[in-house]
Amino acid sequence: MSVIANQVKELASQLGHFVTLLEREHAALSAKALDNLSEVIAEKNRLAGLLSGQWEALRQNLDLKQASPADLTSALSARGEHAALKDGQAIRQLSERARELNQRNGALIREQLRQTSKAIDILQAISRQNATYGPDGLSHGGLSYSRTIDKA
């Protein structure tokens, strides 16, 4: 197996792991199970850096001017790297799947941030009202309650 075929095979393998991490991230975000999300994100970021380096090395070895997985199979065919074509097609499919998952995850994160921001706004508005009870037992400070503390 040639150096390029090995690079393509390794890139396809790592990209498969990356897609699996994106799927785990999506499941956690969908279920709002955010406890283990930081571990998934850390691994995803580490793997993204590795993939970037692998892709750049492969791109240089193939003299690809464009950094698109869609151009990979054409470049492999042109260089006679037929043994790597299957993995090249897998890279294209996995890249598309990663793009889709990344967009979905981004939308889930944006919605979670919107909900969190709304909750913070509500809590800040309530805290500014600074409701307290006066010596007469009535609440004071912006809330329109007229009950005494013993009936609250």
Average of per-residue pLDDT across 108-125: 89
Instruction: Give the C-alpha separation, 65 to 42, whole Å.
Output: 30
Q: Which residues, in sequence order, are CB contacts of 85 under 8 Å at separation 6+?
A: 73, 76, 77
Instruction: Count other Cβ atoms within 10 Å, centred on residue 88.
Output: 26
Instruction: Give the C-alpha separation, 96 to 90, whole Å.
Output: 10
Average of per-residue pLDDT across 123-134: 71
pLDDT in tens, 48-101: 999 999 999 998 988 887 767 778 888 888 889 989 999 999 999 999 999 999
To which residue do tokens 């790297």 refer? Answer: 81
For residue 133, the surrounding DSSP H or E stretch is: strand 132-133
pTM: 0.78
Q: Which residue has the higher pLDDT, 130 or 28?
A: 28
Instruction: Give the C-alpha separation, 138 to 146, whole Å.
Output: 6
At residue 18, the pLDDT reads 97
Identify whether the C-beta of residue 16 lies closer than 8 Å to the C-beta of residue 54: no
Terminal-to-terminal C-alpha distance of the chain: 79
